[in-house]
Amino acid sequence: MDFVLLLILIPVLATFAYAGMRGAPWVPTWRRDVERFLKLAQLQPGERFYDLGCGDGRLVRAAADAGAIATGFECSLLPYFLAKPRVGRRGSVRYNDFWGVNLSDADVVYCFLMPKVYPKLKEKLERECKPGTRVILYVWHMAGWTAEATDDTLGAPKLHRYVMRR
């Protein structure tokens, strides 16, 4: 029995490590901040929403419930398996490293990643996102960009909204 458990845990832990190296370890967006995100993102029905590192899928589900075509990307097994049933048929959760995903059709992109990946993320967003795409960053700002709006509710992590321009 211990050997079987070990065989299950090793790949799960390996994907946690991989996710941490590629963007961020799994630390969910606070539940109470989902409404703040929706308000700041100004998501409209039919818009395409991407969550880069969607964790348990709570923002993918909220965006889908708001009428968006919502897709989350997750490369860690446990959060992925939590997100799939949470999102269900409302949206889509892909077991995929978002670095290989083309974002050119995104209307809104959400990221709660470690700031160490922001220089590479900034290049990806500037290269792939169309003008007018709204990028929402949770906690940390993007160096060199000016936020169009920031929600800095007292006692909560900051949410920053950027609009892509070319």
What's CA 93's distance to the chain center, in Å?
11
Q: Backbone phi, then psi, for 161, in 5-degree steps?
A: -115, 125
Neighbours of 42 (CB within 10 A): 13
Enumerate residue ranges in the chain where pLDDT < 70. 1-27
Q: What are the structural domain ranges in the chain?
A: 2-163
Q: Which residues of 115-151 are buried (b: 16+ CB within 10 A; e: fewer)?
A: eebbeebbebbeebbeeebbbbbbbbebeebebeeeb
Token pair 């090793």 in the structure block, residue: 10
- pLDDT for the residue 24: 54
- pLDDT for the residue 18: 40
pTM over 0.75: yes
Are 89 and 69 contacting, i.e. CB atoms less than 8 angstroms apart? no
Spell out the CATH class of 2-163.
alpha beta
Tens of pLDDT along 120-166? 999 999 999 999 999 999 999 999 999 999 999 999 999 999 999 97
Q: Is the dihedral of CA 111, 117, 118, 122 positive or negative?
A: negative
